[in-house]
Structure 1
Amino acid sequence: MRIVRLANFVTPASGGLRTALRELGRGYRAAGHEPVLIVPGERAGVRDTDQGRVVTLPGTLLPGTGGYRVLTDRRRVARLLEGLAPDRIEVSDRTTLRWTGAWARHRRIPAVMVSHETADGVLRSWGLPRSAALRAADALNSRTAHAYARVVCTTEWAEREFVRVGARNVVRAPLGVDLVGRRPGLRDPRVRERHARVDEILLLLCSRLSVEKRPGLALDALAALRGRGVAAKLVVAGDGPLRARLELRARERRLPVTFLGHVEDRAALGALQATADVCLAPGPCETFGLAALEAMACGTPVVADAASALPEIIGGAGAAAAHHGDAFASAVQALLLRPERARREAARARAECFGWEEAVAAFLGAHEAPAMGAWGSGGRR
């Protein structure tokens, strides 16, 4: 089958959505299908990659988002879809691309929308009052569920907002983590020496520095720990529109924070994730949290926002905390009271519950697409 996937809000630097798109594309291809990915960019282009063909169309740059672009030329996208003649469509944007659901239904092409974030959570993160956010989200989600043959949610937590509006076409399909590329063996004493002394706690934040991710909470947690006399340092791997503001806050509060920006080298990022004592995941509207799961695959436990889907993912191998610095600091201290070997083994064991093979099989199931290749037989090419 030719599975055409469309996504907006994909940055040039890698992130959770880009990782998920890449790994699912690889899996579809290994299972004997033909994946084609359509994304916005600065200019048009076509590339053949290990995840299948990637088609870039000129996209409108969204101000203040740190590089996000969206596909706004419906006619051009529609012409491309007509030419591709897809057997299945998979969409990773429930707002500006929702029209593709009606386009596909009119042509009797089964279409799936993947929910990568909660609508009410994103609206609230941008300042909309809770009641207004819920009303707007319910209206949006009802229209989304009607537009597509299926809605794929990666966690039970993400599924709730569709259950709330009575959607009956929701299926669950978790994402996965690279259990080979992310492993405890990446831990590097030289990385540790670069960022913290032996007697200091090394915290790590791997996140896009944007409003919905709430990265400032990591600085609040660090300040709370140091206020309790805990020698701790924070490394921030990621970039975004809030970076300058966060750097200023760290300087004003005299907090020991190292801002690395986007870490393009996957091995270097893996070494950071494996070397840290605790990874912080403060985003309140995360529906899965790939960066946090990568840290756990490296043997590093995670403290996550209790309001997000991450407590469902990390289970007892991490800790959930209310959305303020003191609560995150207490959760960090509670995790560090566990014997180091036990907490790191528990983190890795929990991550091993989320392999990409199972994720690809679940997504293909949502498409009612057979797995004919290596993935379908339990292995990967």
Structure 2
Amino acid sequence: MDESTLRSTGKICIVYVRYIEDNEPKTSYYGLLDLYGDDTAKNIVKSLNCLWTKDDLKPTNSCWLSTDNASTFTGANEGVIAKLRNQLSIDYLELNTCVAHSFALVGSQASYNSKTLNNKIPVLSESIMKVESVISKIYNYFNKSCPRQLKLKNWQNFTEMPELKFKRIFDIRWSSIRDCIRPIIVNVQPGSQALFACLQEAIDDYNSTNVERECAKDLLNEILNDEFLFLLHMHHDLHESVLGPITKPMQNDHLSYFNLMETIKEKTSILKGWTFESPTATDPALADYLELTKTNSFGAFKIVKDDREKLSNNCLEHINRLFEELDRRFSSSSVQENTSILFDPQYLIEHKKKISSNTYGRSALDFVRKKYRNFSDFDFIAVRNEWESLKASLIDYIDYIALDYSPKNVLEKFSFT
């Protein structure tokens, strides 16, 4: 479910349904709720119940809803999910927030300083403002000037590097900063410093206007700045090595809870190694930058070192904020953890030596049975016997799954064996 606003300011809520057909999970459009200007949780629940009634569906057969992170849906007491649980007496109803939206909030909210008693309004971190400001100035300098773009292109060709254009940061798309950082990093590295060379040429071009030369000088000073370059290299690896690889699997419609949480666990373990206590205890790009600037130069250009202990602390603070947001928005789900133990193909493959144990899956199954014991037509006793019968066949099947298996098709194929 996702709420939206029409151009006419009318309030609507679009509903999709996830279901199994021919042993394959599918997602289809279900309906559009006209909220008639009232987007409160109470009215959304009322409209949803009307939609169910119209199609002769039993609301109590709903066991899971997925929404964005708006408090209208997720509020602990007054949200849509909370109201449905109370009104329909279905405490087994679970909520999933959109993982892509949740992770975007992790990145964007981690850019703000932690709230304190004296700071009730979130304030963007100074180091983040510095990086985003300079990136935007680089984009604006080249964006609408063909002569400047041509000079940059000539220097890129001269240094035998790819012709990369600088990109704009979009406030509504947090992950856009990754694509903005990449071309800047490539254009400032020793041996291919096309960006620096282009600006230096503009400064030394006495046929240009004073305004043009001053503009190039100001931008070069902002880029050839130890604080900016330090933060740029750190954020480059943060996005390329950690955040980007987490974002990419989220585009897969068949991403499982187990794979998602394992990916987050793997990437956060990388972050925990970035203590900044020494040049080697940082990300690789930043470690290279620290090594290259030992003699107060960065390639062909001089540089004045900033207070690097302070810069390291700023980076650590940002990473700690990422941890806080990840814990907040990707806390473990007991329901999904236990169902993963029972049915997730990747989990079963990684733990196949344990499956043959008589006790494997029993505690997980007991949790699920208790969770859904009040669900319509759920047989609390029979499901246990069915699991024991299923497990024997599952053990044999898991042993013969090809290494290049498709998680999408595993259970579908198993049902026909």
Structure with larger RCO (C-alpha < 8 A, sep 6+): 1
Instruction: Write 1 or 2 for the structure with the bigger share of helix.
Output: 2
Instruction: Write 1 or 2 for the structure with the bigger share of strand.
Output: 1
Choose 1 or 2 for highest CA Rg: 2
Q: TM-score, normalised by structure 2?
A: 0.28
Q: TM-score, normalised by structure 1?
A: 0.30
